[in-house]
Amino acid sequence: MISKLQLKAFYESHKDEYYRSRSSGDKNQWDEAYKWDIFPKLNEILSQYKTITADNLPEIVKALKKHNPQQGSFAHWTEIDNLNILTRHRNGWQVVAPLWEATPETVESAIENIDTVGDFLIQHRFGNAMYGYMLAARDCGNFAIYHTNLVKLLIEIGADDKPKTKGESYRLLNDSSLYLGELMQADGLTTNLEQRALNGHDFLWVMQSVR
């Protein structure tokens, strides 16, 4: 957990540099626009699937695989392949179904439950990058993609304790991204601010890249 006061202080001290990079038009300074090309489109495609079922999981996996870029990928291709294994397992859809129904408040426990069931059913535990990609593909306004380096940055900024589980680690990053996204919305200094988690994550991503 990290306090909003610490996050706001970090945001205020770095926002000028961030917005300068994002508005520069120089890909050496900001080359993240592809995320806004991909995730809103994925959100629209996947919005038809309110829950994960045996019938629609193959279509969800197909969309995730198609939109995962070769460079700057959101999840490793082996993780997409492991997700595809679930489509061939009679009860495979039940492994990831809780993730599709998670909220920012319940995502930590959903990840822990999926790890337990996945380990039992297919002897595999997905990484947080895969969980983050699935969640952001469903709703990039409320869920961020995952990078371990950003969790390390949050610990440096002042997170109370190092996360002990994958669920804790993802929630630390997601909660922080959501709050930073709120601050960005309040300032209104750039475009595409409706994707709160995506924007907050990008702020952290850019700042850790220049540190």
What's the pLDDT tens digit per position in 89-129?
A: 888 999 999 999 999 999 999 999 999 988 877 888 899 99
Residue 88 burial by CB count (10 A; 0-12/13-18/19+): exposed, middle or buried? exposed
- Domain count for the chain, please give it: 2
Q: Provide the residue range defining the domain that includes 153.
A: 4-29+147-209
- Same domain? For 91 and 125 the reply is yes
Burial code of 20-40, b = ≥16 C-beta within 10 A, e = fewer? Answer: ebbeeeeeeebebeebbebbb
- Same domain? For 44 and 108 the reply is yes
Q: Which of 108, 138, 168 is the last residue of a domain?
A: 138
Q: What pTM, to 2 d.p., does this model score?
A: 0.95
Q: What percent of the chain has pLDDT over 70?
A: 100
- Same domain? For 11 and 90 the reply is no
- Same domain? For 102 and 65 the reply is yes
* Rama region for 190: left / alpha / beta (φ>0; ψ in -120 to 50; rest): beta
- Same domain? For 69 and 161 the reply is no
Q: Which of 138, 155, 187 is the last residue of a domain?
A: 138
- Same domain? For 99 and 48 the reply is yes
Which pLDDT band holds residue 71 (cuts at 50, 70, 90)? confident
- Same domain? For 62 and 102 the reply is yes
Structure tokens belonging to residue 190: 């750039």
pLDDT at 55: 96
- Same domain? For 103 and 57 the reply is yes
- Same domain? For 117 and 52 the reply is yes
Q: Which of 138, 156, 183 is the last residue of a domain?
A: 138
Mean pLDDT of 177-185: 98
Summarised one tens digit per residue, pLDDT across range 18-36 is 999 999 999 999 999 999 9
- Same domain? For 108 and 155 the reply is no
CB of 206 within 8 A of CB of 22? Answer: yes
- Same domain? For 43 and 85 the reply is yes
- Same domain? For 19 and 49 the reply is no
